[in-house]
Chain A
Amino acid sequence: MEDNKKDKNTNRRNFLKLGLMSSVTAIAGTSLVSSLASEEEASGHSHPAEKMRLLTTDGTIVEVDAKNINKYPEAHITADESRKGIPNKHFVMVIDLARCKNARKCVEGCQKAHKLDTNEEFMKVQLMQDNEEASPYWLPKPCMHCDQPPCVTVCPTGATFKREDGIVLIDNDRCIGCKFCVTSCPYSARQFNWGHKDKFDDKSQPYSPETSIPAAEGTVMKCDFCPDMLRQGKLPHCASSCPMGVIYFGDKNEDIVTNGDETVRFSELIKERGGYRHLEHLGTKPNVYYLPAVDRQFPLERGFNVDEEIMDRYKDVPYIKDLKKQGKL
């Protein structure tokens, strides 16, 4: 079983590396794996996101403004429209903890798409160890888009709202920055813009709560499940950036989720793999399900291959403390 999975994922990674997926495979419905644009992002290119390099037939490389994947301004969703949501959908995400090896491509993909700085993370990867005996695991943690969101309840101006399709968004133009929602979220999913940044002045595309760009000073921001991508029938950036296929996303109403490679029945996935939700007892009814870290695909140590600064974050995890004591880290 594990070997099978390994092979599949090696193929997927090769495909990604080659970056030769065409519209053909998309039409055939066999795989959605990246077009070249997102592939460049995943490969850790040093080129700025705003420009795209093209080779013309006279052999010169030119740089053009990267075409907005979001097709603005034609597809601009205003703040009022964004409150309604995509009709008849109920979005849900499933994260397979057995496959996550802390590659952090989801973090980077999201940061690139939402123009975030290096230390602003809508999708966080935490190292969790449920108890002293338990094996630690990597936990990718986006906003849970709860069905009974404590953050929406406490917002005094209605700047954060829950839509019909289950997504919880923030309207930057309405937020007064009281930070009540930040204190109310038990998953610590929200962040605050503490000061002015130049990127806030970027007027190249009109603001929509669905893209969360540009952010605004003194307001709150968080993972938005990329509704702009969903409207185009594409996966959110984290799901499409993951090389291991850890993140599944789909519509609970049609009971189908996909990670770009495998498309499966949501209910079957949860039942067969024992899917659960975090902090279930708090009654928030989150829409991000987790598949337990059993039959791990990679040893935990594979995930230590990150910057020292990032590894330093996990210094309080008992397992890491043990390793340090033994001198193995």
Chain B
Amino acid sequence: MKNTILKHSFTASMLVLFLISFTSFGQENEAKNFKMLYKFNTVKQADNTRFLEVSFIARNKKNKKDKVPVFDAEIQFYNTTDDEDILLGTAKTDDTGFASITMPASHEYVLDADGYINLSAKFKGSKQIKRKSKSIQVKDIFMELDLKEIDSVRTVIVTAFTIDSLGVKNKADNIDIFISVGAMISNMKLEEATIENGTYAYEFPTDIPGNVDRNIDVYTTIDDHDDYGTVVQKNNATWGVYTVKEKNADNTLWSSLAPLWMYVVLGILLGGIWINFIFTLLELKKIKKEGLLIEAENNPEN
């Protein structure tokens, strides 16, 4: 009897332990109900820094509209090479599911045989969430934006070039760009064009107001090019034709100060009326005084 119990107790306890861990595992891991959407993107910004961003969002398998950001996941950004992956930086996803780093302009990437920078963003994974990795290949391109007045025509000149391993500038060709101007909420596209032979010139419209100082921010963007990814460059010039709007008039019906004539009329009316009231009260006082005098006269007689 004792032996049978002992023989089976071990298996039984293992079974129990296994079951416990299984259920607790099942209760905690809600992640398995979600499909992980992992995206990686990069932009070269106007100051030649490179912005790398990952979006890590979980979508409910049963309810496709239910999307929950993955929070506090550590993402590591690498410059992958044939030999080893160079760690560029790490970032944790915030409460909207985005993690990003910005690489300084001076950073020198290791290129592969075809001249591409290979970037990857890796999520190491956890017990409940599988590891993720996405990579992008971009070639480095330099874009410059000049705002010049040539023969009294305001021209936007975009130049783009790559620098090869020998440090030689090579003009870029056949690259689609668009030129936009900055505005308060969203930039406005002016022109879509293609850079031919390293340059593109655009006659800037003469009727854009700009901001109050007549300053206009001009942007040129390469949008999701196969080789170069997304690149943005910006410049500004006082090419605006902003006309200073006359200040909202004061002393109107809807301003805080009323039209002057209202104060005058009100003053005259009220002044006249209340002066009369005061006059009346003063006369009443005189009546009272007279009455008291008379009473005084009468009383000694009594």
Contact = CB atoms under 8 A, between A and B. Distances in A.
B66 interface: yes
A54 B184 contact: no
Contacts of A44: 65
Contacts of B264: none
B43 A28 contact: yes
Interface in A60-89: 60-62, 64, 67, 87-89
Interface string B121-135: 000001111000000
B138 to A, nearest CB: 13
Interface stretch (A107-115, A245-253, A290-298): A245-253
A153 interface: yes
A60 B28 contact: yes
Interface string B272-292: 000000000000000000000
Interface stretch (B8-16, B31-39, B103-111): B31-39
Contacts of A17: 65
B23 interface: no
Contacts of A55: 30-31, 34, 58, 68-71
B30 A235 contact: no
Nearest to A37: B96
Contacts of A45: 65-66
Q: Which of A67, A233, A253 has the most CB of B within 10 A?
A: A253
Interface stretch (B49-57, B77-85, B157-165): B49-57
A218 interface: no
Given A55-B68, A59-B127, A233-B184, A255 B221 contact: no
A20 B69 contact: no
A59 B30 contact: yes
A119 interface: no
Contact of A32 (B66, B185, B208, B253): B185
B188 interface: yes
B185 A53 contact: no
A237 interface: no
A234 B66 CA distance: 24
B96 A36 contact: yes
Interface residues of B, number: 65
B28 A249 contact: no
A158 interface: yes
A24 B41 CA distance: 7
A90 interface: yes
Given A29-B221, A67-B95, A54 B185 contact: no
Interface string B183-207: 1111111000000000000000000
B72 A57 contact: yes
Interface in A38-54: 39-40, 43-45, 52-54
B218 to A, nearest CB: 11
Given A148-B254, A251-B184, A23 B71 contact: no
A59 B128 contact: yes
A288 B58 CA distance: 39
A61 B43 contact: no
A24 B98 CA distance: 11
B31 A164 contact: no
Contacts of A39: 67
B72 A56 contact: yes
A218 B42 CA distance: 52
B22 to A, nearest CB: 15
B185 A250 contact: yes
Interface of A: 17, 19-20, 22-24, 27-30, 32, 35-37, 39-40, 43-45, 52-62, 64, 67, 87-90, 148-149, 152-153, 158, 161-162, 164, 230, 233-235, 249-251, 253-256, 258, 260, 263-265
5 contacts: A29-B187, A56-B70, A67-B95, A235-B186, A253-B212
What 6 A-B pairs are tightest by C-beta distance, nearest first? A59-B128, A29-B187, A59-B31, A54-B71, A256-B183, A258-B186
Given A59-B29, A230-B185, 14 more contacts: A19-B67, A29-B221, A36-B97, A56-B72, A57-B73, A57-B129, A61-B68, A148-B252, A148-B254, A152-B253, A153-B254, A162-B255, A254-B209, A254-B242
Interface of B: 28-32, 34, 37, 39, 41-43, 45, 51, 53, 55, 57-58, 65-74, 95-98, 100, 126-129, 180-189, 208-212, 219, 221, 223, 230, 232, 242, 245, 247-248, 252-256
